[in-house]
């Protein structure tokens, strides 16, 4: 970690995150549950930077999936709001006996409608 710091690869928040990652790996190893006890490998600066980059990439993927799910939720909520505002569609849905929806969805649609 010292050589990565000296080379300017780890500074500030990245350095703190790398320290936390090293400590977590020391405590539990690379795997969550180890089948066989093993001697943890020593981390050099390249391995430390790679571990930090892998962790950062994993978190970027999680953020990307969350944003995608959020966008889909907004799209579906807006579509339901527009359909609920259409009197002909509402009459058809009521006639077919499909005029109820889960409370959480109804709350979200009505809160968007009020805004």
pLDDT tens column, 8-22: 777 788 878 888 888
| Spatial separation of the C-alpha atoms in residues 37 and 33, rounded to whole Å | 10
pLDDT tens by residue, 39-68: 566 678 888 888 889 999 999 999 999 999
Question: Confidence class of residue 26 from pLDDT cuts 50, 70 and 90?
Answer: confident
**What's the full length of the chain, in residues?**
115
**Per-residue model confidence (pLDDT) at position 3:** 73
**Per-residue model confidence (pLDDT) at position 46:** 84
CA dihedral of residues 88, 90, 93, 97 (deg, nearest 10): -130
Number of domains in the chain: 1
Residue 27: give the domain boundaries: 2-32+40-114
Q: What is the mean pLDDT of the chain?
A: 82
Packing angle between helix 12-28 and helix 45-85, nearest 10 degrees? Answer: 100
């Amino acid at each position: 970690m010292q050589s990565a710091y000296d080379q300017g690869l780890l500074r500030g928040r990245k350095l703190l995150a790398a320290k936390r990652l090293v400590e977590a790996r020391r405590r539990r190893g690379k795997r969550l549950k180890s089948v066989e006890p093993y001697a943890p490998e020593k981390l050099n600066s390249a391995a430390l930077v790679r571990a930090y980059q892998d962790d950062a990439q994993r978190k970027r993927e999680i953020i990307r999936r969350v944003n995608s799910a959020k966008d889909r939720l907004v799209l579906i909520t807006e579509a339901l709001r527009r359909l609920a505002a259409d009197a002909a569609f509402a009459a058809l849905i009521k006639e077919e006996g499909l005029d109820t929806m889960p409370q959480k969805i109804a709350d979200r649609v009505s809160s968007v409608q009020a805004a």
